[in-house]
Structure 1
Amino acid sequence: MRPLGLSRGVCGRGRRIAETRGPTPPVICEQLLPVAHAARHARNVVTDACLRWGMPHLVAPAALIISELVSNVVDHAHTLMTIEVVCRPSHLYLAVQDGATDPPVRRDLDDTIPPVHGRGLILVETAATAWGYDYQEGGKTVWATVSRDRATPGPLP
């Protein structure tokens, strides 16, 4: 059994969790518990995927994005989550599905936000090409994409 992951079997939309090849783009999915070290584990999964798929230049923005999305589940949703990493022709797709229906809240930067909390979606917005969320039965999926042509994340706020 993996230390934080519960399974590497079926992804949220029925795809196999193991990396797939052929007409289907490479996909990695993993279920995680909402525990303190889940973000670090998710960063390791994303880093490994970027390196195996020949995209070392995407490690920094992808690791930042997945870390923030997973941290939001740990801090706010408190539910089992599934991370999904998909290598598409034009971009890397990163998603975290959880069991909460509350939408993610992107806060504006101001002096009332403590320097350690409340800035995760601002960082996601800065590092990602696009981001958003979708509802499904039993929860939501927060997703982000990073262009495969992007070398580094944009300047941080």
Structure 2
Amino acid sequence: MTEPKRAPPPVVQDLFPLTGACLAARDIVTEACLCWGLPQVVAPASLIVSELAGNVVDHAGTIMTLKMTLLPDHLLLSMCDGSYLPPIPRRDTTAPSARGRGLLLIEAVSADWGYRLDAAGKTVWATLKITASPPAASPAG
């Protein structure tokens, strides 16, 4: 009898609210996704955590905690910070700024997203549906 696959432990990493936090978050997510055999979610997961980290840098200015949890059919990505201000997607598409659309990008690429407040601040989370990787192309011959 084969033992059921166990989910790997969550990846948890604190990041400082500096410009390099977005790159660090992308690197952490990329490494975890590849280690977990999920190359197909590297791009959307990297986009999500980059936007989440950028929002903390731009708006909260507190230490943030990135957490990745592999669920049976979803990848849960979350970012905790010390601010109690809720995230508000900017729906005004006529604004001249190219910034401020991160939550709309997260909404577009994730299966679901939201936030929760707690005693320490807030957590913004997003899920990605895990689909099987396309089969590798066989060499011509």
Pairing of 1:66-77 with structure 2 (within 5 A): 66-77=49-60
Alignment correspondent of 2:118 = 136
Count of residue correspondences: 129
Partner of 1:126: 108
CA contact (8 A) 1:81 1:97 kept: yes
Q: Write the distance in 1 (CA, Å) between the matches of 2:43 and 2:92.
A: 22
Runs ≥4 residues deviating over 3 A: 22-25
- Structure 2 unaligned segments of length 5 or more: list them: 134-141
Residue of structure 1 equivalent to 2:29: 46
Amino acid at match of 2:125: W
Q: Percent identity?
A: 45
TM-score by length of 2: 0.87
Taking structure 1 as the reference length, the TM-score comes to 0.78
State which structure, 1 or 2, has the greater radius of gyration over its C-alpha atoms: 2
Flag structure 1 segments of 5+ consecutive residues without an equivalent: 1-21, 152-157
RMSD: 1.6
Higher-RCO chain (CA-CA 8 Å, sequence separation at least 6): 2
Q: 1:26 deviation in Å? A: 2.7
Report the CA distance between 1:111 and its aligned residue: 1.4
Is 1:35 the equivalent of 2:29?
no
Q: State which of 83, 108, 116 in structure 2 corresponds to 1:100.
A: 83
- Over residues 16-52 of structure 1, what are the superposed CA-to-partner deviations in whole Å (9 max), with x where a residue is unaligned? xxxxxx8564310000100000010000000001000
Deviation at 1:150, TM superposition (A): 7.7
